[in-house]
């Protein structure tokens, strides 16, 4: 088995064997359920609108869960000293980062997909398209991946998990508020900030059931840049 | 390349330095270790032992200097060589949510052992480190001593040529300490071992040779006897006896080679005689003591002697 898959599998098992993983999963499902019941189903709406609102409300818990899942990835390894095990192994730093990221993404994806019973409830009295459903979940997973990437970077920069969560959240919020900055700045900065906005510029198409290549590319790019920076941080730590 | 003892050199360190800002953790460190040797790395806390071991373990990069492992440059091609090294940090790197066997299998996979060979390697390593009965035991439930063993096992599981053990006996009780020493001694020949400690008697009993660091610099190297001779540490032997103390003292003082005998009563009613005499005289001392009708309970190297050697080597005293 490749080192990436080996590390990813260990990471995934780490979530399922500790309370942290289950608490995060339960919280996401609870909050998504409450938001779906309180807001997505509110009033008389068409099935498509309900589904669109479901994805909109599910995006928030997904981002928050990603930060909490990512905070332990490298900060905990440093806290416990187990990072030395990885450093001393014949594994590239990028494989360590990728393996940990993929393990967390697998868990986050499983939790995200576990919310599928909510959209399926719409079928009791309405109709939804499979394409809309798949596009929405693809958007959630891409948004989650980008958030996880930022959280992983935060985890590599911090010594403790709490600080890692704060740094990861700060990076995430910076990309979220880029949308607000776009509204108060002049071109070309306004268009730059608008294109960088993590949620408002790129997620609405997914929640409406549309997949645009530029949005997919944006989330993949954010994820790649964050993981690349994380790898650089790990490499730099060998000097300290 | 042949080593000092005639065998191939496994680890060669030349002019190795590591600076944290302006502070030197190690400075111009140079030494060689032959294949199959068990070498002790002795120094006080903060002397630079861990920094050196972390560099040899490819965990840390040096500021300058050169490290060769079996003739290959460890710093320019570390990934290929890491599989030949087993590294145990001072705190064993253990995942508490895993069982012992599962953890060792994970580490073996990480270090490049083929999937088909992993169960065999894990089984052999558990047997060697006395962990077979704990294969399915979660690491979180293990005592400190067993955690240290799992730490050694993870360093061994991929069959490395070189083992780097940072204070493996740290925090162990006396029984566990003896077991750990036996385990390390058992590695001689199969692996080249560099084991650090700040306790001289602990590694003096385990290692073929000692490297002594102080304030980041290598201040002495050699076997315990060589270092004692070089540093002029007084040879001392303790005899714990009961019976006619005066007669024993007289008999010992009459022996050629005995320079002095001092008497130290103990709380148990026995007497410890501290004899300043060469090591080679130990059988004669024992016979002389018993010949007076006294009972001999213990005869060993004076604790003061090891302490004196350690202070001269690693402490603030003057070393060679």
Chain B residues whose beta carbon lies within 8 Å of the beta carbon of residue A83? 93
Chain B residues whose beta carbon lies within 8 Å of the beta carbon of residue A85? 93, 107, 110, 154
Chain A residues whose beta carbon lies within 8 Å of the beta carbon of residue B83? 90
* Phi, psi (rounded to 5 degrees) for B8: -70, 145
The nearest alpha carbon in chain B to A12 belongs to B97
Confidence (pLDDT) at B45: 82
Lookup: tokens for B97: 């949510």
Confidence (pLDDT) at B7: 65
* Residue range B237-301, CATH number: 3.30.70.100
B110–A3: do the CB atoms touch at under 8 Å? yes
Model confidence pLDDT, tens digit, residues A59-107: 999 999 999 999 999 999 999 999 999 999 999 999 999 999 999 999 9
Confidence (pLDDT) at A211: 96
Out of B59, B85, B110, name the one closest to residue A84 (CB): B59
Confidence (pLDDT) at B319: 43
Looking at CA atoms only, how far is residue A110 from chain B in angstroms? 21
Number of folded domains in chain A? 1
Confidence (pLDDT) at B185: 85
Residue ranges of chain A whose pLDDT lies below 50: none
The nearest alpha carbon in chain A to B90 belongs to A81
Give the class (CATH, top level) of B9-228.
Answer: alpha beta
The nearest alpha carbon in chain A to B80 belongs to A90
Model confidence pLDDT, tens digit, residues A167-176: 999 999 999 9
**Stated pTM of the model:** 0.83
Confidence (pLDDT) at B121: 95
pLDDT along chain B (320 residues), means of 10: 62 93 91 92 87 92 92 82 92 94 96 94 93 94 92 94 91 82 85 87 82 88 76 74 90 87 82 83 88 88 68 58
The nearest alpha carbon in chain B to A76 belongs to B95
A7–B109: do the CB atoms touch at under 8 Å? no
Taking CB atoms and an 8 Å cut-off, how many pairs form between chains A and B? 67
**Residue A9 lies in domain:** 3-237
């Amino acid at each position: 088995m490749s080192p990436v898959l080996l590390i990813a599998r260990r990471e995934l098992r780490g979530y399922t064997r500790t309370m942290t993983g289950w608490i995060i999963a339960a919280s996401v499902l609870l909050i998504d359920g409450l938001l779906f019941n309180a807001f997505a189903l509110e009033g008389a709406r068409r099935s498509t609108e309900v589904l669109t609102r479901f994805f909109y409300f599910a995006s928030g818990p997904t981002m928050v869960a990603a930060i909490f899942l990512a905070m332990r990835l490298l900060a905990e390894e440093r806290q416990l000293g187990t990072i030395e095990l990885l450093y001393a192994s014949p594994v590239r730093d990028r494989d360590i980062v990728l393996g940990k990221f993929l393990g967390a993404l697998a868990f986050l994806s499983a939790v995200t997909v576990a919310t599928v019973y909510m959209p399926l409830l719409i079928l009791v009295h309405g109709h939804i398209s499979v394409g809309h459903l798949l596009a929405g979940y693809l958007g959630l997973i891409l948004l989650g991946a980008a958030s996880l990437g930022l959280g992983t970077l935060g985890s590599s920069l911090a010594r403790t998990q709490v600080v890692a969560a704060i740094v990861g959240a700060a990076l995430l919020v910076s990309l979220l508020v880029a949308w607000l900055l776009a509204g108060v700045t002049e071109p070309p900065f306004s268009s730059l900030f608008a294109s960088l906005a993590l949620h408002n510029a790129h997620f609405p198409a997914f929640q409406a059931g549309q997949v645009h290549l530029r949005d997919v590319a944006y989330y993949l790019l954010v994820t790649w840049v964050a993981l690349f920076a994380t790898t650089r941080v790990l490499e730099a730590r060998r000097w300290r | 390349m042949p080593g000092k003892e005639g065998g191939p050199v496994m680890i060669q360190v030349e002019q190795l330095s590591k600076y944290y800002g302006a502070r030197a953790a190690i400075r111009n460190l140079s030494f060689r270790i032959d294949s199959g040797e068990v070498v002790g790395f002795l120094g006080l806390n903060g002397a630079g032992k861990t920094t050196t071991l972390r560099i040899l373990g490819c965990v840390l990069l040096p500021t300058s200097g050169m490290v060769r492992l079996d003739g290959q440059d460890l710093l320019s091609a570390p990934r290929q060589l890491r599989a030949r090294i087993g590294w145990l940090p001072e705190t064993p790197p253990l995942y508490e949510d895993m069982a012992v066997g599962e953890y060792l299998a994970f580490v073996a996979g990480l270090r490049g052992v083929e999937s088909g060979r992993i169960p065999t390697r894990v089984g052999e390593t558990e047997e060697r480190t006395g962990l077979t009965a704990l294969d399915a035991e979660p690491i979180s439930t293990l005592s400190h001593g067993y955690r240290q063993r799992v730490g050694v096992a993870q360093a061994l599981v991929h069959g490395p040529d070189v083992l780097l053990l940072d204070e493996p006996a740290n925090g162990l009780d006396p029984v566990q300490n003896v077991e750990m020493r036996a385990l390390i001694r058992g590695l001689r020949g199969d692996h080249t071992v560099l084991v650090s400690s700040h306790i001289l008697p602990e590694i003096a009993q385990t290692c073929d040779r000692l490297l002594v660091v102080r304030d980041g610099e290598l201040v002495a190297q050699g076997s315990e006897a060589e270092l004692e001779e070089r540093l002029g540490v007084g040879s001392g032997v303790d005899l714990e006896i009961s019976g006619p103390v005066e007669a024993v003292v007289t008999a010992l003082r009459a022996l050629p080679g005995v320079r002095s005998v001092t008497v130290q009563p103990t709380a148990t009613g026995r007497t410890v005689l501290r004899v300043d005499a060469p090591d080679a005289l130990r059988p004669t001392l024992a016979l002389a003591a018993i010949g007076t009708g006294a009972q001999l309970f213990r005869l060993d190297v004076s604790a003061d002697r090891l302490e004196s050697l350690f202070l001269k080597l690693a402490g603030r005293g003057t070393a060679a």
